[in-house]
Structure 1
Amino acid sequence: MPEFTATSIVLGVILAILFGGANAYLGLRVGMTVSASIPAAVISMGIIRIILKKESILENNIVQTIGSAGESVAAGAIFTMPALFMWAAEGVGEMPSLITITLIALCGGLLGVFFMIPLRAALIVKEHGIVPYPEGTACAEVLMAGEQGGAKAGSVFAGLGIAALYKLIADGLHLFPSEVDYEISAYKGSGIGADVLPALAGVGYICGPKISSYMLAGGVTAWFVVMPLIASFGGDIVLFPATAPISELGTWGIWSNYVRYVGAGAVATGGIISLIKSLPLIVTTFRDAMKGFGAGNASIDRTAQDLSLKIVLAGIAAIAIIMWLAPVIPLNLFGAVIVIFFGFFFATVSSRMVGLVGSSNNPVSGMTIATLLITTIILKIGGNTGVSGMVAAITIGSVICIVAAIAGDTSQDLKTGYIVGATPKKQQIGEMIGVIASSIAIGAILYLLNSAWGYGSTQLPAPQATLMKMVIEGVMGGNLPWNLVFVGVGIAIVIEILQMPVLPFAIGLYLPIHLSTPIMAGGLIRLYIDKKKFNNEKTKNNVIESGILYTSGLIAGEGLVGILLAVFAIIPFAGGTLGEFIDLSARGISLGNIGGLVFFAGLLLTIMKYSVWNKKNTVN
């Protein structure tokens, strides 16, 4: 049966770049990314089966293996590297070059794959049936249901097309504002609103009602508790870090000057709590991995063939030397050794974590924060301070973040391959191809998005990267408003005591409520479907799966058009830019906030159409 073919490689590379770009845009807006494995598998089946008239589950598996790598490289890169752009904008340090971004992403991605190869037998094979790897198992089920590939691919493409058109109308033509905002004057300091965009509704549906509600709870705490308190007690006081009286700041001024730091403390604490709770699992996994490391596999069975351990060790050594000696990577030998040590440790942790709780709940940010705290303190003690120390710290954090993200993705892909009978060695090579392709693309994507809107702006708040930047600056310079950070720490501890997941709540506290409300809208549709009575369980599963595929398309469609609009924003045209030329609101044509809410309600109805109201999902 065909497996590692030219078709699978080309299609996989295209999907790696597309899903990498879409997830980069999504993550920079809301601080979260979504798994690309299942959408990539479905699109692959639609193209290979319907268009090319071929049937090969193993070929489709290689496509999703290569394609999903783009999402993981993007996630690791956007959580950290925008900090370099923000420092450059502040006059601190220089803009990272495209070669620097590509090499950092490449080193982290390849290390993530190399570290997972000797762990495969212990974590994927020996613990099959014990560690579920939910996304990997689900992707295998989708591949095995290949005869439905055409219809399923149709749902993804429909979501992609509808979201692309919607995004173009909202943020390209500006027929209506994509951010609906209301300040509640009777309750000073509070406000409500929604970014009425497809990706946010899609995230809510995929994450489900519980995670969505935790995020909204964080937003309500910030915008209806903390901010009104600051407005009530602040009065005309000028309180650091703001430079104007609190009474003159308004809701957005209070949020950006104060609540952002409270949220940062909560997110950092949530990440570290996740890590601490995982310590017994970490120790066990690391010990088991060390026992199995280097164990040879004498079997000649195709399904048991991994890349040679000699290639793995040589690859790790080569990457360490490149990080040490390449002038565009600001690391010395000590920094390269730290990366290898923490990288293997957190690759092991990441693989086991995604095996138990899934990729979406993998505390990559917590691992990165822990790495940054330790390395920044070590660098400061060693006298490597100032700009060079901060850049070295974020570089180490970037590589570790990408290692953890790719290790988790590789684990899910290898589990899918194990279930469908793929060749591990070919999947591992495919994962590297996906890493290389997306590493080359991610630098251009980061530069493009920064040129169009700038990181830290309302369009691209880059929440995770801003947090990493604040952590490094806080350790190096001690210039953070620590009281506000510790308020966030206290809130996170209270949430943990109440036995709620801290990270979703903390992200909701950290981000504007305008992101939590549309996510909750998507979550409510999922809640309705979860509670609705169907004829049988098979119909219910079909409805939920169709909704997931359609909303995955929504996320991809918005992300891709977001990148296209970034191109429009920097192309000169008619005395301005192409983006300004197509802007209808500049000509006084706009449907206003009401128009935005009406369009968003229509978008939510399309989710219903492709899930609950889709007659193809009914099973008698």
Structure 2
Amino acid sequence: MDNKEQFKPFIPAEKIVPEMTAFSIIMGAILAVIFGAANAYLGLRVGMTVSASIPAAVISMGVIRVILHRDSILENNFVQTVGSAGESLAAGAIFTLPAMFLWAKDGLMEKPNLVEIMIICLIGGLLGVFFMVPLRNALIVKEHGTLPYPEGQACAEVLLAGEEGGDSASVVFAGLGISAAFKFVIDGLGLVPSEINTPSTGLGSFKGQIGTQIYPAVFSVGYICGPKISSYMFCGGVISWMMLIPLIVMFGSDAVLYPGTAPIGEMFAQGGVSAIWGSYIRYIGAGALATGGIISLIKSLPMIVTTFRDSMKALAGGQGGSELRTDKNISMKVVVICLAVLIVLTGVLPQVPVGIGGAVLIAIFGFFFAAVSSRMVGIVGSSNNPVSGMAIATLLFSTIILKATGAEGAAGMKAAIAIGTVICIVAAIAGDTSQDLKTGYLVGATPIKQQYGEIIGTIVSAIAIGGVLYLLDAAWGFGSEQLGAPQATLMKMIVEGVMGGKLPWSLVIVGVVLACVVEILGIPVLPFAIGVYLPVQLNACIMIGGLVRLYFDRKKYASEQEQTRVTNRGVLYCSGMIAGEGLVGIVLAILAVIGVSDKINMAGVLNLSAGAGNIASAVVFAVMILLVFKFTLGGRKNA
């Protein structure tokens, strides 16, 4: 008897319950846009995104009970399937596409228009879904007892625990509303500064700076990631802002060093540590990030080769002939036709500037990395899936081929980023689809309906993501201190380097060496490298979130069930805070673009001194943290 015959899902195959309904489609589409926009904003700020599956599931459970007065676990599962696609597509897009915006600012090319962004993202997302369809039987069904799919199982557990009522959903909504209010007070009204800082003038000749942001979403990233990852990021930030910047200012005071255009001392006098960060530290961080991505890919190569080989072997075994509801996938005939059409369109559409050769590269890399991503998330989870490493490898290989075939300059650079974007989205969506299909397998969903749900989520998100990118770029600009866009800057650097563009290689190599040393010491490179790249104030806020999570993890509880309850509530509340700040960030971007933001901002009127501003910010931050304790420890004890 095989795994498929032994396993019995929560909803039997013979039972028909509401699943792909009008409400679940609309609700899922709305959440896809919300979490896609929120994760785009978050990823461009801190270089990391968070899974939307569980928050989407609990929001769905709460709304379906309140509005429809019914409880269908499969309807909730369909909502999270559609909703989580937005987060995955956004992650793939923000890792690469902002590079084109940065080149546009340099005068090298025009920005990609909304139609170009939509088509590139749509092709990547649909390829990710269709590449995953034939792998479902091989990875989800046949290897049910082998591949755990940690996020997929966690989401299934949340859905199965839906008998708790609306309490979990209320925690998410509370986090969303409270975070939105804090974000509007801090950045909208400007009533308190967004950072608590030591003086940037330093102590005597020491020109470092330390401080913390007070944003709820940044704090929440630290809480969700936990103390270890947070500490790695914080250490990277401390090395940049308390060691590298002071050394650059001290030794290069009168020097004009590329890419800076003025003496370092003058730059520091006019712009403080932020000026040094923007001109020098970001390149060191980019070198460390690139090295971290390559190292993670190299370390994963044995697993990548094994997983791809095993996936192909299992796939060769066929899709199975069962006619059960829980075994129905999109037919292979439809999948093959759709894949062929998408690959042809990739080669001929002017909005996807890759040509026939680029389309062939996308087909090869896309299928390979879709298979690898789908299986690897089943082993190590989405958080440890080396998508950035896959994107780096694709960019390096594609850029070398493009240059060798004569596609140089702006056209070659744009083609390389387009290929990288499609592959990044393919890997992200394939991983998300496999996690969602695992959740569906456990609860008894209909696979073909979930696959339709992924397609719906991809289409909706692809339409929306271009507008989000344009808004954020117009409001603050990619590569700025507000939106560092670390991965996109890294991809830009790689393409420029291969194409022969001018880069401060000495700074990049410093980052490479730093990453190698960190790897030798046994410290995870990618979070450390992100910390080197991003401002220390952001890393410190993440660290504070990690410390709060450490308190909850080590706190003594009456039972293991109580500890699980507190942990889940904390993660849900912080997921809500991320969504709330992301949404208000989009609203504030709209207000900035139409010229309203300056009129409502009171920072200039209040004109707080540095000391008074630090005190006011500390009070607001303390209140925010106290509310985390209240909503994490509160609620029904039997929830």
Q: TM-score, normalised by structure 2?
A: 0.94
Q: Deviations over 1:539-573 (max 9, x none)?
A: 000000000000000000000000000111122xx
The separation in 2 between residues aligned to 1:617 and 1:262, in whole angstroms, is 49
Structure 2 residue corresponding to 1:158, chosen from 174, 182, 186: 174
Match status 1:425 vs 2:456:
no
Match status 1:185 vs 2:205:
no
Report if the CA contact (8 A) 1:76-1:402 is conserved.
Answer: yes
Structure 2 residue corresponding to 1:534, chosen from 557, 569, 572: 557
Q: Please report how far the alpha carbon of residue 242 of structure 1 lies from its aligned counterpart in structure 2 after TM superposition.
A: 1.2
Q: Deviations over 1:19-67 (max 9, x none)?
A: 1111111111111110000000000000112321111100100000000
Report the equivalent of 2:9: none
Q: Deviations over 1:72-112 (max 9, x none)?
A: 11111111111111111221101111110000000000011
Instruction: Give the 3 Å change call, closer, same or farther, for CA 30–2 of structure 1 in structure 2.
Output: same
The separation in 2 between residues aligned to 1:617 and 1:366, in whole angstroms, is 43
Report the equivalent of 1:596: 617
Q: 1:397-546 alignment to 2 at 5 Å?
A: 397-546=420-569
Amino acid aligned to 1:600: F
Amino acid aligned to 1:597: A
Structure 2 residue corresponding to 1:325, chosen from 348, 352, 355: 348
The separation in 2 between residues aligned to 1:98 and 1:462, in whole angstroms, is 19
Structure 2 residue corresponding to 1:201, chosen from 213, 219, 233: 219
Q: Please report how far the alpha carbon of residue 247 of structure 1 lies from its aligned counterpart in structure 2 after TM superposition.
A: 2.2
Report if the CA contact (8 A) 1:473-1:479 is conserved.
Answer: yes
The separation in 1 between residues aligned to 2:597 and 2:282, in whole angstroms, is 30
The separation in 1 between residues aligned to 2:624 and 2:369, in whole angstroms, is 39
SS in structure 2 at match of 1:118 = helix
Greater shift in the superposed pair: 545-554 or 370-379: 370-379
The separation in 1 between residues aligned to 2:607 and 2:28, in whole angstroms, is 41
Report if the CA contact (8 A) 2:74-2:443 is conserved.
Answer: yes
Q: Deviations over 1:273-325 (max 9, x none)?
A: 11111111111111122223361310111111111111111111111111111
Report the equivalent of 2:363: 340
SS in structure 2 at match of 1:249 = helix
Structure 2 residue corresponding to 1:108, chosen from 124, 129, 136: 124
Amino acid aligned to 2:237: G
Match status 1:93 vs 2:144:
no
Structure 2 residue corresponding to 1:266, chosen from 288, 297, 305: 288
SS in structure 1 at match of 2:226 = helix
Report if the CA contact (8 A) 1:49-1:55 is conserved.
Answer: yes
The separation in 1 between residues aligned to 2:385 and 2:229, in whole angstroms, is 14
Amino acid aligned to 2:202: S
SS in structure 1 at match of 2:196 = strand
Report if the CA contact (8 A) 1:189-1:230 is conserved.
Answer: no
Match status 1:35 vs 2:51:
yes
Q: 1:546-561 alignment to 2 at 5 Å?
A: 546-561=569-584
Amino acid aligned to 2:299: K
Q: Please report how far the alpha carbon of residue 586 of structure 1 lies from its aligned counterpart in structure 2 after TM superposition.
A: 2.9
Q: 1:120-199 alignment to 2 at 5 Å?
A: 120-182=136-198, 183=200, 185-186=202-203, 188-199=206-217
Report the equivalent of 1:233: 251
Structure 1 residue corresponding to 2:70, chosen from 19, 39, 54: 54
> Which blocks of at least 5 consecutive residues in structure 2 are unaligned?
1-16
Amino acid aligned to 1:610: F
SS in structure 2 at match of 1:117 = helix
The separation in 1 between residues aligned to 2:562 and 2:410, in whole angstroms, is 57
Report if the CA contact (8 A) 1:60-1:143 is conserved.
Answer: yes
Amino acid aligned to 1:155: V
Q: Please report how far the alpha carbon of residue 603 of structure 1 lies from its aligned counterpart in structure 2 after TM superposition.
A: 0.7
Q: Please report how far the alpha carbon of residue 184 of structure 1 lies from its aligned counterpart in structure 2 after TM superposition.
A: 5.2
Report the equivalent of 2:597: 579
Q: Please report how far the alpha carbon of residue 228 of structure 1 lies from its aligned counterpart in structure 2 after TM superposition.
A: 2.1
Report the equivalent of 1:376: 399
Amino acid aligned to 2:147: V
Greater shift in the superposed pair: 577-586 or 164-173: 577-586
SS in structure 2 at match of 1:542 = helix
Greater shift in the superposed pair: 183-192 or 169-178: 183-192
Q: Deviations over 1:189-231 (max 9, x none)?
A: 3111222101011101000000000100111111122222222
Match status 1:616 vs 2:600:
no
Amino acid aligned to 1:433: I
Report the equivalent of 1:300: 323
Q: Please report how far the alpha carbon of residue 477 of structure 1 lies from its aligned counterpart in structure 2 after TM superposition.
A: 2.2
Report if the CA contact (8 A) 2:167-2:635 is conserved.
Answer: no
Amino acid aligned to 2:98: P
Q: Please report how far the alpha carbon of residue 361 of structure 1 lies from its aligned counterpart in structure 2 after TM superposition.
A: 2.1
Instruction: Give the 3 Å change call, closer, same or farther, for CA 238–349 of structure 1 in structure 2.
Output: same
SS in structure 2 at match of 1:401 = helix
Amino acid aligned to 2:234: L
SS in structure 2 at match of 1:456 = coil
Instruction: Give the 3 Å change call, closer, same or farther, for CA 372–280 of structure 1 in structure 2.
Output: same
Report if the CA contact (8 A) 2:125-2:425 is conserved.
Answer: yes
Match status 1:286 vs 2:308:
yes
Structure 1 residue corresponding to 2:96, chosen from 80, 86, 97: 80
SS in structure 1 at match of 2:134 = coil
Amino acid aligned to 2:311: A
Report if the CA contact (8 A) 2:353-2:415 is conserved.
Answer: yes
Q: Deviations over 1:148-185 (max 9, x none)?
A: 24000000000000011111111100111213333251
Report if the CA contact (8 A) 1:16-1:434 is conserved.
Answer: yes
Q: Count matched residues.
A: 613
Q: Please report how far the alpha carbon of residue 352 of structure 1 lies from its aligned counterpart in structure 2 after TM superposition.
A: 2.2
Percent of aligned positions that are identical: 62
Q: Deviations over 1:313-354 (max 9, x none)?
A: 111111111111112211210000101111111112212222
The separation in 2 between residues aligned to 1:14 and 1:144, in whole angstroms, is 23
Match status 1:363 vs 2:386:
yes
Report if the CA contact (8 A) 1:189-1:254 is conserved.
Answer: no
> Which blocks of at least 5 consecutive residues in structure 1 are unaligned?
572-576
Report the equivalent of 1:606: 627
Amino acid aligned to 1:280: P
Report if the CA contact (8 A) 2:134-2:319 is conserved.
Answer: no
The separation in 2 between residues aligned to 1:51 and 1:488, in whole angstroms, is 53
Report if the CA contact (8 A) 1:101-1:443 is conserved.
Answer: yes
The separation in 1 between residues aligned to 2:512 and 2:240, in whole angstroms, is 14
Report if the CA contact (8 A) 1:184-1:192 is conserved.
Answer: no
The separation in 2 between residues aligned to 1:27 and 1:365, in whole angstroms, is 13
Report if the CA contact (8 A) 2:369-2:390 is conserved.
Answer: yes
Report if the CA contact (8 A) 1:209-1:523 is conserved.
Answer: yes
Report the equivalent of 1:394: 417
Report the equivalent of 2:11: none
CA RMSD of aligned residues (A): 1.3
Amino acid aligned to 2:18: P
The separation in 2 between residues aligned to 1:60 and 1:354, in whole angstroms, is 22
Report if the CA contact (8 A) 1:42-1:149 is conserved.
Answer: no
Amino acid aligned to 1:67: G
Report if the CA contact (8 A) 1:163-1:555 is conserved.
Answer: yes
Amino acid aligned to 2:573: Y
Amino acid aligned to 1:416: T
Q: TM-score, normalised by structure 1?
A: 0.97
Q: Deviations over 1:501-555 (max 9, x none)?
A: 1111111011111110000111001000111110111000000000000000000
The separation in 2 between residues aligned to 1:131 and 1:275, in whole angstroms, is 20
